[in-house]
Amino acid sequence: MKELITKNLEVKDKFNLELHNTLHSCESIFLSRPIALRLWSSFFVILPIFVQAPWVRFEPISALCFTFVILLGAFFLNKKKSNKWFIVSSLLIGVSGSWLGGCLFWGWLSPFPILHIPVESVVLPLAFIGLGTNWKIGSSFYISSLFGTAVTDITIFLTGIMDQWREVIAADSENAPLILKKTSENLIHIKSLSIIIVVALILWLISKEIFDSGTINSTNGKALLVSSYVIQTTLIVDGIFIFLAILQPTLSGLV
């Protein structure tokens, strides 16, 4: 009987050890695959565009308060004491900075495009400090998002459609489509298309250089990969909006 109990305990311990190793292996696989980091990074780039943008137009205060929900989510995940979830929590810290800046600008200051980048940069000093800490992945996310936004604004200015910014923001539902149509027509010129293509190529080369310097095996390497993924996702999203602006202006908003 004693031998039977001992044998059962050994089997149970072996099973628990195998289960622990399996869970650890799953986490290691998750962390060793750049595709997972790309999906998280891209998701958090797209989230503000399709969730925050319409939300902040109708309920800017509640959208602004959601910044604290994101921060609480980051705090909760950090409590799990897991490297995998720490990466997600760090990304959420970066997202909260982008979300905060976006709410402040689009909620109250959108008629003033010159204030766009300064307002979106509201937590930039903290992000630079974060690069020297364990939270550098979130800092890289925020800084790269801000960089992509700045490049988009510069492209809007160089293509000559910045003038339509305030008109679109201030226009009613009847006049907005007409202004957007005029904006799309301005894009279909050799000069505008050339600027867009050149800027896109520069962004892609920058993201590729950063990607080639990154690695999934260290926090610094992951931060570089996140920066690359954010810039690439921003480039793809901008491309979609430009495509919509040309084919169906009323669906694109201001590019």
Distant-in-sequence, close-in-space partners of 119: CB < 8 Å, separation ≥ 6: 101, 104, 105, 109
At residue 248, the 3 state secondary structure works out as coil
pLDDT in tens, 54-85: 899 899 999 999 999 999 999 999 888 777 78
Rounded CA gap, 228 and 241, in Å?
20
DSSP 208-231: HHHHHH--TTSHHHHHHHHHHHHH
Indicate the domain borders of the chain. 1-31, 32-252
Rounded CA gap, 165 and 110, in Å?
9
- Asked if 125 and 101 count as a contact pair (C-beta separation under 8 A), the reply is no
User: How many CB atoms neighbour CB 192 within 10 A?
Assistant: 18
- Asked if 226 and 216 count as a contact pair (C-beta separation under 8 A), the reply is no
At residue 6, the 3 state secondary structure works out as helix
Look at the block and give the residue holding tokens 């080369």.
205
User: For 222-243, what is the mean pLDDT?
Assistant: 92
Mean residue pLDDT across the chain: 83
Decide if pLDDT at 216 tops 50. yes
| Amino acid code (one letter) for 179 | I
Give this prediction's pTM: 0.85
pLDDT in tens, 87-139: 899 999 999 999 999 999 999 999 899 999 999 999 999 999 999 999 999 99
Instruction: Return the half-sphere exposure (C-beta side, CA atoms, 13 A cut-off) of residue 152.
Output: 23
